[in-house]
Amino acid sequence: MNIKSQFKRRTIKTKIPTETEKKELAEREKKLIEKLKSHKARAKSIVSPNKNLKIIAVGGFDRVGKNCVAIEYDQDIIIVDLGFEFPSRDMLGIDYVLPNISYFIKHKSKIRGIIISHGHLDHTGGIPYLLPKLGNIPIFTTRLTSELIKKRLEEFPDITAHIKTVDPKEQLKLGCFQVEFFRVNHSIPDAISIVIHTPEGSIVYTGDFKFDFTPATDKMANFQRIADIGKKNILALISESTNAHKPGFTISEKEIGETLDMAFSKCRGRIIVGTFSSLLSRIQQIINSAQKYGRKVSFAGYSMLQNFEIASRLKYYNLPKNILISPREIKKYPDQEIVVIAAGSQGQENSAIGRMATGNHRFIKLKRGDTVILSSRPIPGNENSVFNLIDNLIRQGANIIHDENMDVHTSGHGAAGDLKLMMALISPQYLIPNHGSLYSRYCHTKLGQDIGLPEGNTILLDNGQVAEFSRHQLVSTKNKIPSGQVFVDGLGVGDVGNIVIRDRQHLAGDGIIVIIAQIKTDNAPATNEDIDIISRGFVYMKEADPLINKIRANIIAIINRRAENTQVDLNQIRNDLREEIGEFVFQATQRRPMIIPVTIEV
């Protein structure tokens, strides 16, 4: 047999793929390459120390105000809330206090979005002042909150904001983060909690909340939805702590409506209700009681009218026909047919109720027979203003009903029972309390331990501190971002610092002395005619001649002592005047006015 015949070359017929098959093969190859890249990136993130998950406490971790938290992973940052804080009494001339966002400005290329939990200013108020520093970053929030922010931004025509309205049922993809939401009850509708799924685990940010089992106009929180979120292995719960020191559950809004209804039934004259303009459910209940007792309703105050217009447009109110009248029309009706809903229950002098209390309101003059219901509670630190308001209302002849003599207000913040229930539903590995003083946040950590969280898994952060998830553990690190206060004074943002505030406090406390001294270039001795002294807030000049004369004599002695040198050093003379005259004045009066020396060569 021919060997060659046994090994005949076989001819293999190759099928030429069609164009469609070529496209399918190319697409399959592309997907495999992308999948391989994804696996490589994931493996790299596991070993890379630079990709630790960070929870950054920006604001709201020392008190209620300027709330802001950031979540960072690798090249992605999400900012949650961007609020402001009203100034304390010692912040003279300051309008608002903002969180320090210099860290965000430095890393603004990483920011994927700002998410706002609800429409209160301590969560939204910083947007007009800080957004221009961050660039074209989208803001995500619910419908009512979106409209409130847009209305506020109308006062800042140079700012363009990209606000995207989200439904609590939808999800967002922001960088490496997957974000979803669930509804909560608060003192303003459309409040949400935020769930941020990260490569290292999920974080829940509650925002402000309470569990209202019988809400007046809002929907009850979806407990099943919250429990389902809790099944997703939640790494950390960032939860508000405002009322953590109060036992039990916060009173339902419906109970307050029943109390207001009882108060209405006993009033025979006009009723003026002071409350927060954002308390839409409270306002609806006031309108309901007004209708029940045959009364017309009028709104007073800019913020009240502004929020009413927005809420009405979005159908948050159920308004009976012909129940609303303008303040101008009040005089057309008998007193027993009038209810006024007014802003200013915190004692603001220029608010609607503040002007009524001093008799300066344009349309409403209080008189005997009127009843003023303050359906609110003093903000901590604002008690004196509210007490002064009550005193002034009484002087006008009004009867007063407030939270201490009748249950006409309830908080929008959960008490200990609410906070424990949230923790039980979410089942977090770690608890990070925010939105409150150190004491209230400390009480919150104890509540966490009560339901089984280890002490080491309840983390107290201060503003500027960073918690990192590393080696399967979330810990508070020594890393800090800038966290000082940023002041808004008129149109200036950040141009007034702590030194200026101290100067203002100094001026307010002890006044100022301005020394204008003529220094002769020929070293001739100074005389009384060369010295001018101006005082403000220290002494009344015309009645303090002996003291002013002693100050002038000391000034002349200091100048002539320095003038003995061949070359006059004006800087040194000013320093000597500041120090020595300051010490002399203190010894003579036990006061330390600000000394400002001005030297003029002649």
Q: Is residue 64 part of a domain?
A: yes
What would the pLDDT profile of 441-474 be if each residue is shown by its tens digit? 999 999 999 999 999 999 999 999 999 998 788 9
Q: Is residue 347 part of a domain?
A: yes
Domain boundary among 368, 401, 434: 401
DSSP helix/strand/coil, 5 = helix
Average pLDDT over residues 120-132: 94
Among candidate residues 195, 203, 104, 118, the one with its CA nearest the CA of residue 464: 104
Give residue 105's Cα distance to chain centre: 19
Same domain for 257 and 127: no
The CATH number of residue 459's host domain is 3.60.15.10
Same domain for 420 and 385: no
Q: Among residues of the chain, what percentage have pLDDT more than 90?
A: 58
Average pLDDT over residues 401-409: 87
Same domain for 216 and 197: yes
Q: Is residue 12 part of a domain?
A: no
Average pLDDT over residues 524-538: 85
The CATH number of residue 564's host domain is 3.10.20.580
Considering only 291-295, 493-497, 580-584, which range has the smallest mean pLDDT? Answer: 493-497
Residues in contact with 423: Cβ distance below 8 Å, sequence separation at least 6, in sequence order: 237, 239, 431, 447, 448, 451, 453
Q: Is residue 553 part of a domain?
A: yes
Domain boundary among 489, 524, 550: 489
Report the alpha-carbon distance of residue 495 to residue 103 in Å, rounded: 18
Same domain for 479 and 519: no
Among candidate residues 178, 170, 162, the one with its CA nearest the CA of residue 76: 178
Same domain for 384 and 271: yes
Q: How confident is the model at residue 543 (pLDDT cuts 50, 70, 90)?
A: low
Q: Is residue 74 part of a domain?
A: yes
pLDDT at 490 (0 to 100): 67
Query: Is residue 505 predicted with pLDDT exceeding 70?
Result: no
Reported as half-sphere exposure (CB side, CA atoms, 13 A), residue 457 has a value of 20
Query: Is residue 216 predicted with pLDDT exceeding 80?
Result: yes
DSSP helix/strand/coil, 9 = coil
Query: Is residue 87 predicted with pLDDT exceeding 50?
Result: yes
Average pLDDT over residues 188-194: 95
pLDDT at 497 (0 to 100): 60
Same domain for 333 and 275: yes
pLDDT at 236 (0 to 100): 97
List of E strands, 25-130: 53-59, 68-73, 76-80, 96-98, 111-115
Q: How confident is the model at residue 564 (pLDDT cuts 50, 70, 90)?
A: low
CB 307 within 8 A of CB 148: yes
Domain that holds residue 68: 49-248+412-489
Query: Is residue 205 predicted with pLDDT exceeding 70?
Result: yes
Domain boundary among 346, 369, 401: 401
Same domain for 257 and 244: no
Give alpha helix (H) positions in 107-252. Answer: 121-124, 127-134, 143-153, 223-230
Residues in contact with 162: Cβ distance below 8 Å, sequence separation at least 6, in sequence order: 136, 137, 138, 139
Mean residue pLDDT across the chain: 87
What would the pLDDT profile of 228-279 be if each residue is shown by its tens digit? 999 988 999 999 999 999 999 999 999 999 999 999 999 999 999 999 988 9
Report the alpha-carbon distance of residue 243 to residue 64 in Å, rounded: 11
Q: How confident is the model at residue 41 (pLDDT cuts 50, 70, 90)?
A: very low
What would the pLDDT profile of 236-250 be if each residue is shown by its tens digit? 999 999 999 999 999
What would the pLDDT profile of 152-189 be if each residue is shown by its tens digit? 999 998 898 999 999 999 999 999 999 999 999 999 99
Same domain for 596 and 574: yes
Q: Is residue 155 part of a domain?
A: yes
Same domain for 482 and 559: no
Same domain for 384 and 282: yes
The tally of domains found in the chain comes to 3
Average pLDDT over residues 335-364: 91
Report the alpha-carbon distance of residue 456 to residue 304 in Å, rounded: 45
Strand order in the sheet with 512-519: 531-536, 512-519, 594-601
What would the pLDDT profile of 354-388 be if each residue is shown by its tens digit? 999 999 999 999 999 999 999 988 876 678 888 99
Average pLDDT over residues 296-300: 95
Q: Is residue 312 part of a domain?
A: yes
Same domain for 395 and 364: yes
Structure tokens at 421: 């229930």
The CATH number of residue 284's host domain is 3.40.50.10710
Same domain for 369 and 220: no
Q: Is residue 93 part of a domain?
A: yes
List of E strands, 129-225: 139-141, 163-165, 172-174, 177-183, 192-198, 201-205
List of E strands, 133-176: 139-141, 163-165, 172-174
Average pLDDT over residues 223-227: 94
**pLDDT, greater one: 301 or 3:** 301
